[in-house]
């Protein structure tokens, strides 16, 4: 009897003891974390995500995101269930960085996240659409664009300054308001101060902004040493020739155009009686253009554009006639490429017809037209003490008018439309003795706080 009981208990024990080798393997091992490996087959819009298979895993969950903390998943790739150890991730943007990670899945069990893989699609970021309320952006979208210029001072060109930002957003050409004239540059016979001009030229060249040179010869910018020159007239002429040659040579290929002579005609319509006329004779304008052309050609800059620049010709017909007599003489010797119309206007004058008649004389001679120093006074009679709405709207209309006239020019006659400064309070006009302008004024596109004025809107509307 005793033997039967023992046998029974032995059999019972056998049936109940677990024996790893003989039991079917219940999955009591934790599901391993996958190892995500590098992406492959990356294109502008897709890549292949890859990882290493995990024993016992039935499938995988992949997360794809544009941020490495996976705070926001890519549509369609939030715990996407995948068989196997790879999946194509598609519908992506070019030149964007993506992140992916995977988890293994077995029944309802899901492993922890794998390591994160970073992958950047190929291609380049599409250009940010430019703001069409920026002057040059709207102009550059035209069928026949032109340079939108502004007069600058070298101390405005600091990287990141408000001027720098506005310049790069709104303008495609720069003119030195005073630093490229003879008196700041020429410190003596054959000696020069290039600092400011080099800075302005470098800024333009580095930022793809056209540089217009203003002005090689101007009676209001003669350095003292030359004004009091004691040599002969011939020696004086040689000094001017040397100056023009040295400056044009230094900036050959960097400065695209020069006002070779500025304001050679007086308001009576005669050749202005300047030191240049007195010492170099009636041919001085042509001599200066010849020297500029020779210097440019010698430096290999056969594309340099040579301009004659003046003011007031739209309302002063005798002056206009004399200017175009000079232009004709230069044109006959193939020494001139364009005419600069300064356009220091007011909200009342010149009229549209007067401007068009003036400018069209240059068009008729197949010359480039540069509206070279545009500003529009609203207080030339000093009858207001602040910019009234009425004058602001009148100024807007005149900016629109002249921009519209310029924009209508034939493409071959377009060059640049340059405004003479940024902010109203920096303009040469307020309280100007040069201009006999007794009171304040607000002639430009930006107010003293660098805010856009209605004039800026008028400029944009002139492009429609
Ligand atoms: O910045 C210096 C300052 O550091 C120095 O202490 C001071 C001493 O006088 O001079 C300052 O430079 C002045 C410069 O403007 C910057 O404000 C110059 O003296 C002054 O002569 C210069 O005036 C310029 C003028 O041409 C003469 O070059 C005006 O800004 C400029 O708007 C005016 O522009 C002319 C065009 O070239 C030709 N058409 C007419 C137009 C208006 O006159």
One domain for residues 159 and 47: no
Ligand 1 atom closest to 373 (CA): 39
One domain for residues 185 and 307: yes
**Distance from the alpha carbon of residue 163 to the mean position of ligand 1, in angstroms:** 18
Provide the pairing of β-strand 191-192 with 117-120.
unpaired
At 148, which helix (H) or strand (E)? strand 147-152
Question: Residues 428-433: contacts with CB within 8 Å, 24+ apart?
Answer: 428/177, 429/344, 429/375, 429/377
221 lines ligand 1 (CB under 6 A): yes
Segment 57-97, tens digit of pLDDT? 999 999 999 988 999 899 899 999 999 999 999 999 888 99
Ligand 1 atom closest to 153 (CA): 16
One domain for residues 87 and 143: no
Q: What percent of the chain has pLDDT over 90?
A: 88
- Structurally, how many domains does the chain consist of? 2
One domain for residues 323 and 244: yes
How many angstroms separate the CA atoms of 169 and 167, rounded? 5
Segment 218-241, tens digit of pLDDT? 999 999 999 999 999 999 999 999
Give the pLDDT band of residue 439 (cuts 50, 70, 90): very high
Residue 406 above 60 pLDDT? Answer: yes
- On whether residue 5 sits in a domain, the answer given is no
One domain for residues 84 and 184: no
Segment 190-211, tens digit of pLDDT? 999 999 999 999 999 999 999 9
20 lines ligand 1 (CB under 6 A): no
Residue 397 above 60 pLDDT? Answer: yes
Q: Which residues are catalytic?
A: 263, 373
35 lines ligand 1 (CB under 6 A): no
How many angstroms separate the CA atoms of 281 and 316, rounded? 25
Ligand 1 atom closest to 420 (CA): 32
The alpha carbon of residue 217 and the mean position of all alpha carbons in its chain are separated, in whole angstroms, by 29
Residue 18 above 50 pLDDT? Answer: no
341 lines ligand 1 (CB under 6 A): no
Residue nearest to atom 21 of ligand 1 (CA): 178
Residues in the chain: 464
CB contact at 8 A, 39 and 49: yes
Give the pLDDT band of residue 23 (cuts 50, 70, 90): very low
Domain span at 402: 135-461
The whole model's pTM is what? 0.77
337 lines ligand 1 (CB under 6 A): no
Q: What is the CATH number of the domain that holds 280?
A: 3.20.20.80
- On whether residue 391 sits in a domain, the answer given is yes
259 lines ligand 1 (CB under 6 A): no
- On whether residue 41 sits in a domain, the answer given is yes
Ligand 1 atom closest to 427 (CA): 32
Ligand 1 atom closest to 178 (CA): 28
Residue nearest to atom 14 of ligand 1 (CA): 178
Give the pLDDT band of residue 1 (cuts 50, 70, 90): very low
One domain for residues 208 and 339: yes
**Distance from the alpha carbon of residue 221 to the mean position of ligand 1, in angstroms:** 9
Residue 34 above 60 pLDDT? Answer: yes
**Distance from the alpha carbon of residue 445 to the mean position of ligand 1, in angstroms:** 20
- On whether residue 16 sits in a domain, the answer given is no
Residue finishing a domain among 67, 97, 120: 120
How many angstroms separate the CA atoms of 214 and 315, rounded? 23
One domain for residues 114 and 143: no
**Distance from the alpha carbon of residue 460 to the mean position of ligand 1, in angstroms:** 28
- On whether residue 268 sits in a domain, the answer given is yes
How many angstroms separate the CA atoms of 314 and 349, rounded? 9
One domain for residues 411 and 322: yes
Question: Residues 179-185: contacts with CB within 8 Å, 24+ apart?
Answer: 179/153, 179/154, 180/213, 180/214, 180/215, 181/214, 181/215, 181/218, 181/221, 182/216, 182/217, 182/218, 182/221, 182/222, 182/223, 182/226, 182/243, 183/221, 183/222, 183/223, 183/224, 184/221, 185/247
Residue nearest to atom 34 of ligand 1 (CA): 177
181 lines ligand 1 (CB under 6 A): yes
* Other CB atoms within 10 A of residue 381 CB: 12
Residue finishing a domain among 64, 87, 120: 120
DSSP letter at 98? Answer: E
One domain for residues 57 and 195: no
One domain for residues 317 and 229: yes
How many angstroms separate the CA atoms of 94 and 350, rounded? 52
Q: Which residue in the block uniquely carries the two structure tokens 């492993």?
A: 111
One domain for residues 397 and 439: yes
418 lines ligand 1 (CB under 6 A): no
**Distance from the alpha carbon of residue 179 to the mean position of ligand 1, in angstroms:** 8
**Distance from the alpha carbon of residue 178 to the mean position of ligand 1, in angstroms:** 5
Per-residue CA distances from 23 to 8, 11, 15, 371 (Å)? 22, 17, 11, 96
Residue nearest to atom 13 of ligand 1 (CA): 178
Residue finishing a domain among 87, 120, 153: 120
- On whether residue 438 sits in a domain, the answer given is yes
Residue 286 above 60 pLDDT? Answer: yes
Q: What is the CATH number of the domain that holds 55?
A: 2.60.40.10
Ligand 1 atom closest to 215 (CA): 37
One domain for residues 247 and 354: yes
- On whether residue 10 sits in a domain, the answer given is no
CB contact at 8 A, 147 and 210: yes
Segment 302-318, tens digit of pLDDT? 999 999 999 999 999 99
- On whether residue 417 sits in a domain, the answer given is yes
Q: Which one of 177, 216, 221 would you pick to mutate in the ligand 1 pocket, going by the greatest count of ligand atoms within 8 A of its CB?
A: 177
């Amino acid at each position: 009897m005793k033997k039967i009981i023992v046998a029974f208990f032995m059999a019972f024990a056998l049936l109940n003891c677990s024996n790893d080798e003989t039991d079917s393997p219940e999955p009591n091992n934790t599901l391993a974390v996958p190892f995500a490996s590098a992406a492959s087959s990356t294109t502008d819009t897709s890549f292949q995500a890859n990882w290493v298979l995990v024993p016992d895993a039935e499938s995988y969950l992949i997360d794809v995101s544009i941020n490495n903390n996976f705070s926001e998943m890519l549509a369609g790739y939030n715990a996407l269930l995948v068989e196997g150890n790879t999946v194509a991730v598609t519908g992506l943007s070019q030149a964007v960085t993506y992140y992916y990670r995977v988890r293994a899945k077995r029944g309802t069990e899901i492993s922890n996240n794998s390591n994160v893989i970073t992958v950047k699609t190929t291609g380049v970021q599409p250009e940010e659409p430019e703001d069409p309320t920026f002057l040059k952006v709207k102009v550059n979208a035209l069928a026949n664009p032109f340079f939108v210029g502004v007069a600058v001072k070298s101390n405005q060109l600091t990287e990141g300054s408000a001027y720098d930002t506005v310049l790069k957003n709104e303008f495609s050409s720069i003119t030195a308001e005073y630093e490229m004239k003879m008196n700041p540059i020429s410190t003596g016979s054959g000696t020069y101060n290039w600092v400011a001009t080099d800075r302005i030229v470098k800024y333009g060249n580095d930022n793809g902004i056209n540089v217009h040179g203003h002005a090689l010869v101007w009676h209001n910018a003669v350095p003292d040493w030359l004004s009091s020159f004691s040599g002969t007239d011939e020696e004086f002429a040689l000094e001017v020739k040397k100056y023009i040659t040295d400056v044009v040579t230094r900036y050959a290929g960097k400065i695209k155009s020069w006002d070779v002579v500025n304001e050679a005609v007086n308001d009576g319509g005669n050749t202005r009686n300047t030191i240049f006329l007195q010492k170099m004779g009636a041919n001085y304008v042509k001599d200066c253009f010849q020297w500029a052309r020779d210097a440019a050609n010698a430096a290999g800059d056969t594309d340099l554009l040579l301009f004659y620049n003046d003011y007031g010709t739209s309302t002063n017909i005798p002056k206009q006639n004399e200017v175009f007599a000079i232009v004709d003489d230069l044109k006959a010797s193939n020494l001139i490429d364009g005419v600069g119309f300064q356009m220091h206007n007011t909200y009342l004058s010149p009229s549209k017809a007067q401007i068009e008649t003036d400018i069209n004389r240059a068009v008729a001679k197949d010359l480039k037209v540069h509206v070279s120093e545009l500003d529009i006074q609203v207080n030339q009679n000093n009858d207001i003490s602040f910019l009234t709405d009425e004058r602001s709207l009148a100024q807007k209309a005149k900016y629109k008018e002249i921009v519209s006239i310029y924009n209508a020019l034939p493409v071959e006659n377009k060059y640049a439309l340059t405004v003479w400064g940024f902010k109203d309070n920096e303009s040469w006009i307020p309280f100007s003795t040069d201009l006999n302008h007794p009171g304040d004024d607000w002639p430009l596109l930006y107010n003293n706080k660098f805010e856009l004025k209605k004039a800026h809107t008028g400029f944009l509307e002139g492009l429609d």
